[in-house]
Structure 1
């Protein structure tokens, strides 16, 4: 590896000093980390829409290391880390000059709208850079700082989504200076980042800033995405911190002026409703439907927006991992008896049944028969419980999103995948200690797209993991370049990935998808038996799978 060399790039806000480093292949790449894209959202700007930064604080900015992460509780150490002054992005480019500008991929990290960052400890995009694309990663406000809602006090919500949008505007304005093409931007992300992207895809104010999207394990209609009774959460947080008022303006003034940011984190989980606690959805502050405004993003229920015919006219890639539910198993296995005695808590809120309706016990009994062969939920049934968790938190929502897209968005090709590959880089499955289960945990595909600081060694070239990295990054980069992950011009990929067929209302929906495993191949209707079970539940209580209770 050669020594690091400084490199400068001028953008509209000033001059950046980045670094030249080496890719795994030995080729150079250039990184510019910790680039501020907004005025720090502190003081009076807490909870407000982000303000564009007109000029860097210094005319020449050192971009050799990342900026602050957003305030959050680190899931590995449980420490509270980060800062409110967190609106930074990172730009990585494999070439500062070429005959044509390169496609741009903008990454939005996941983390339940509550934790995480776009930093290189998790998301170093060297594998993608080998495919000749520019990659931008970013931080946005999390938790109550990004998603507090108090419309009577001029806090319309979704500040974190608006941070993401402002970063996209910065990319539009400046990415040409890094040899990126501002007219070929792909927005991609995972989990809560993916759900955010799906909301941007449905937003009139956002969609002009990107040209393709990749949604990995998250769509806006999933059970955990939209905030439930958001005004209650705002009021409850203030109460828990010792402040009572009937005035939303007074509550926001108190929350804006408090310096007890550590104290805020102590109380976040306590703002959850009893129903949210029962269902295991510990995500109090999330996106909301907001009033129309010049920077509003979610102005109608996502399901309603997704059903507007041909509102989407750009290519979409969407998919999930085979064992998403592993990520929920650690907590579930701590209280198996509680879960076994109240299986009705796993009936989606979108099924049109009141939680107190006796029919919930009927559905719970049907779930027990289907998933657990009528038996108790014990450690012997971990695989079956994982299937239920996968379907409840992810599978039902993403299958419905794919069908809605196929039925209503005929101008937009949809490429669907299921990632079931299990290799040495399936790090989440290892960390959660469920390596006995086949397939891929929620987030396991990330380590075949990004290099992480947790794994120093690059897989050997002849290994299955290395081949998976090459295949995944090539398909993702092809999609960014051409809107097609396996174009006819690329003969190096093992399979032709065909899009989902547009479906008219009278036709039965067929989900054509790419199975990404040791063998990569096309197939139809992933996890079909389980999805058919839920189709029947929704048919019985909602009249149709695509009519969830909002």
Structure 2
């Protein structure tokens, strides 16, 4: 609808989640710096596109906190995409082929290509950045043919395409279990599809949240799936046709420079409410097998028990799991659910394209307070993005320096495809590319920066060996 004068485009909307939200939620937010009156901008600006996280079930595009990025003369774009059952119901049918949320992301990136020039951005200078589920999305967008040509670089933080929660191995089973929690027992795939067509969205997202909270195997419920090729309609494009791990090993995808970021203690994706309500400490001691990641497949129950015991010895030695093993618990969950997949992506991507690897160590005081983790002194899951999109007031010089340093790293990469193109007061060390999987150079960020090699390598190699023996194959969804 046309308008005259200035249109105040400040609508903030959240896609349905946790029992509320709006279905009309596919909104794109654009932030561009106001040019200095003494300067006249003659060229379009590089564009950073941020894809939010939230385990594919929660989250919304940030609409504030861009100031420190905009100071570096870039355009920032954020957008919503469908999440939970609306975004990732995957039945392998024409009505529910799967990956609707990822296809929303593709549509947003295509819109940016067509229109960002009108907002002062450069359509051929787009870098995508995602955390958590957004990081999985970015990794998948690199590999998917649907993402080809829509961006020239990528930033991946606290997630990867090979994490146990990145792809649902049994999407029809997931849809069936959620339906059963609402006392619906489908007779066949058509009956199941009819249930989802007719159910109230708020009811679905409320139950989806409860279902998500019941999972302890590294899965999140509704998430990306491998779409079926059998009987697919010509007008339905497939986002994901093959296991991400297989695609990663083959390397048959578009090559772009990548900045990969992990936090020192990725297991801090757990919140204290989860930790207490799900009695992790007690059950991990008596039934550790219950917490093994879902991407492991065993021929016998005995094999499962043997591996569970080997993992307990590796992380805990002869100690009982309890109040004194909080850090070990967080290392176990962080390594198996997040960190190993990130390091595996870095190890494979560097063979084909420029990769810069960062450990975000700096905790600071920008994250929300959580009583359980008050004595943890290192950064947790998705901590880096909290220093990129800063909505809370900065109250000390250490946080200010960390925010300004991280903004310079990000915007350098957006503009010039590398985080330290020149040495500055904030970035006095040249950041090496990953060029050898045995050496695996990385930059450790603790407010200032330092170069290291082989981050958490003993733990990474342990999971290499585990997955070599027990990694399960992920197949396309096949409707019954």
Corresponding residue for residue 63 of structure 1: 9
CA distance in 2, matches of 1:128, 1:72: 29
Map 1:84-483; keep pairs closer than 5 Å. Answer: 84-95=23-34, 98-120=41-63, 123-258=64-199, 260-268=200-208, 277=214, 279-281=216-218, 283-291=220-228, 295-309=237-251, 311-328=253-270, 330=272, 331-333=274-276, 334-354=279-299, 356-407=300-351, 409=352, 412-425=353-366, 427-428=367-368, 430-431=369-370, 433-452=372-391, 455=392, 457-460=393-396, 463-483=397-417
Could you tell me how far 1:370 is from its partner in structure 2? 2.2
Equivalent pairs counted in the alignment come to: 462
Deviations 1:24-47 (A, max 9, x none): xxxxxxxxxxxxxxxxxxxxxxxx
Structure 2 gaps, min length 5: 475-480
Could you tell me whether the CA contact under 8 Å between 2:405 and 2:447 is conserved in 1?
Answer: no
Could you tell me whether the CA contact under 8 Å between 2:271 and 2:370 is conserved in 1?
Answer: no
SS at match of 1:358: helix
CA distance in 1, matches of 2:338, 2:112: 30
Q: 1:509 aligns with which of 428, 438, 441?
A: 438
CA distance in 2, matches of 1:486, 1:188: 18
- The farther-off stretch of 93-102 and 175-184 is 93-102
Corresponding residue for residue 478 of structure 2: none
Could you tell me how far 1:118 is from its partner in structure 2? 0.5
Could you tell me whether the CA contact under 8 Å between 2:82 and 2:100 is conserved in 1?
Answer: yes
Q: How large is the Cα RMSD of the aligned pairs?
A: 2.5
Corresponding residue for residue 526 of structure 1: 455
Relative distance call for 1:345 and 1:512 in structure 2 (3 A) is farther
CA distance in 2, matches of 1:221, 1:423: 29
Relative distance call for 1:548 and 1:153 in structure 2 (3 A) is closer
- The farther-off stretch of 439-448 and 239-248 is 239-248
Could you tell me how far 1:524 is from its partner in structure 2? 0.4
Relative distance call for 1:243 and 1:347 in structure 2 (3 A) is closer
Relative distance call for 1:245 and 1:222 in structure 2 (3 A) is closer
SS at match of 2:344: helix
SS at match of 1:205: helix
CA distance in 1, matches of 2:297, 2:188: 34
Could you tell me how far 1:95 is from its partner in structure 2? 3.6
Could you tell me whether the CA contact under 8 Å between 2:441 and 2:454 is conserved in 1?
Answer: yes
Structure 1 gaps, min length 5: 1-12, 19-60, 74-79
Relative distance call for 1:246 and 1:510 in structure 2 (3 A) is same
Could you tell me whether the CA contact under 8 Å between 2:165 and 2:219 is conserved in 1?
Answer: no
Could you tell me how far 1:402 is from its partner in structure 2? 1.4
Deviations 1:116-139 (A, max 9, x none): 10132xx52111111111001111
CA distance in 1, matches of 2:100, 2:321: 41
Could you tell me how far 1:248 is from its partner in structure 2? 2.7
Could you tell me how far 1:15 is from its partner in structure 2? 6.2
Could you tell me whether the CA contact under 8 Å between 2:16 and 2:202 is conserved in 1?
Answer: no
Relative distance call for 1:432 and 1:525 in structure 2 (3 A) is farther
Map 1:65-84; keep pairs closer than 5 Å. Answer: 65-66=11-12, 68-73=13-18, 80-84=19-23
- The farther-off stretch of 307-316 and 443-452 is 307-316
Deviations 1:61-92 (A, max 9, x none): 540332x210112xxxxxx3311111111100
Could you tell me how far 1:201 is from its partner in structure 2? 0.6
CA distance in 2, matches of 1:239, 1:381: 36
CA distance in 1, matches of 2:294, 2:219: 15
Relative distance call for 1:349 and 1:284 in structure 2 (3 A) is closer
TM-score w.r.t. the length of structure 1 is 0.78
Corresponding residue for residue 36 of structure 1: none
CA distance in 2, matches of 1:489, 1:441: 28
Could you tell me how far 1:489 is from its partner in structure 2? 7.1
Corresponding residue for residue 419 of structure 2: 485
Could you tell me how far 1:365 is from its partner in structure 2? 2.3
TM-score w.r.t. the length of structure 2 is 0.89
Corresponding residue for residue 477 of structure 2: none
Deviations 1:462-499 (A, max 9, x none): x1111111110111011010111111376751321111
